Amino acid sequence: MNTWRYIENNDVTASAGLAADEVLANRAGTGISQPTLRLYTYQPCALVGRFQTIENELNLDYCVKNKIPVNRRPTGGGAIIMGENQLGVALAIPGKSDETYASVRERMAQFSQGIISGLATLGINVEFRRKNDLEVNGKKIAGLGLHKTATGGLLFHASLLVDLDVAYMLNVLQTPFEKISDKEISSVAERTTTIQRENLNPITLNKVRRTVLNGYKTAFGVNMELSDFSHEEMDEIRQLEKDKYMDSGWIFQSTDVTDAVGKSIIKTDGGLLDIHIVLAGRMIKSAYIGGDFFTSEHAIADLEQSLRWHSSQDKSLTETLTQVYERWSGDLANLPMESLIKGLMSAIQKAEIMARKHSSDPYGCFVTPGSAHA
């Protein structure tokens, strides 16, 4: 029977928690560290997915006012709040040699079996549903994410709702509601659930943690050895935290732009596609491809790089994107090329309208946005 390492932490900061998970996955990919399950809680914070635009997902004014740290996960998916009532689940294991994002949904379903198995012992029947959710009777109880490191390691993330202050969550996250009223709170509460709500008796977070731990032992047929980070791992974690997760460039990923900007949002089977482009005449000066889908950041980087200083004509775009998709056929399987082209053309059209407005303004009082996100 295989043995995995088990690490327990409480009250970690956003930057340290994320850095630790990535280091574990990096080292698992190279075989330096053994497969590791980490069950932990964060200090109150808000985390966005790898490819999301942070200003679109979080109410930053509220976060600043209430001193709520914000950060960006290496895993895809949507924005979440974390704190003492949300159990963070991180599984770091070696990936397969031919691992791609084509199988991301299947891998998340596989890795979430520990949670599903554990909660079943409490009489809570959980299902893997939609793109990356765990649900109880159609209500979300956990969100999932997956990241493949450059070393071939896999990092599975889950945020398990032991309890939830819905009003607080709605204030932290950007929502379509102009006012957070009892009606909106009730509406969102009906679409989510928690372990406290589903369990017949009050339950502590530590009991939930033990339940999930036992669930992973059962689901994967492994022994769990309680451990902690090694000195070498701690050195790497501190360095990565400083270089990446405490760097505003990683968190906000913004770049100044001065040309016409176009944006579009497209719903696809793989998730929401959020496209920003900067147009200089008939050329795409830069492109940002974001959203809550799951794919390789290297594939997205290749797409964005291929679109820099590229013709905005439909036929030319299709030819270039076809070549990129051939290079990343596995990793881009969850991001349909047809949807990407549709989103790009919509954003280009909006940028062209902006450019025409700007050129027809005789007084120069039309101001283009000063920044976009990449």
Which residues sit opposite 145 in a β-bridge?
A: 157
Residue identified by tokens 């029947």 is: 125
**CA atoms of 112 and 219, how far apart (whole Å):** 9
Q: How far apart are CA 217 and CA 131, in angstroms?
A: 25
- Distance, CA of 138 to CA of 33 (rounded, Å): 37
Q: Which distant-in-sequence residues (6+ apart) come within 8 Å of 323 by Cβ?
A: 306
Whether the domain at 3-252 and the domain at 254-373 fall into the same CATH topology? no
pLDDT of 368: 28
Give per-10-residue mean pLDDT for the chain (374 aa): 96 98 98 97 97 91 97 94 98 92 93 98 95 93 95 97 96 79 82 94 96 98 97 98 96 67 91 90 87 92 90 92 95 94 95 76 31 29
- Which pLDDT value is given to residue 253? 84
pTM attached to this predicted model: 0.82
**Per-residue pLDDT, 53:** 86
CATH top class, domain 3-252: alpha beta
The CATH superfamily assigned to 254-373 is CO dehydrogenase flavoprotein, C-terminal domain (3.30.390.50)
CB under 8 Å to 255, separation ≥6 — which residues? Answer: 286, 371, 372, 373, 374
Domains of the chain, residue spans: 3-252, 254-373
The pLDDT, as a whole number, for residue 14 is 98
Query: CA 137, 138, 139, 142 torsion: positive or negative?
Result: positive
Residue 4 to residues 7, 37, 116, 217, 352, Cα–Cα distance (Å)? 10, 7, 19, 9, 55
Q: What is the pLDDT of residue 359?
A: 57
The C-alpha R_g of the chain, in whole angstroms, comes to 22
pLDDT given at position 257: 44
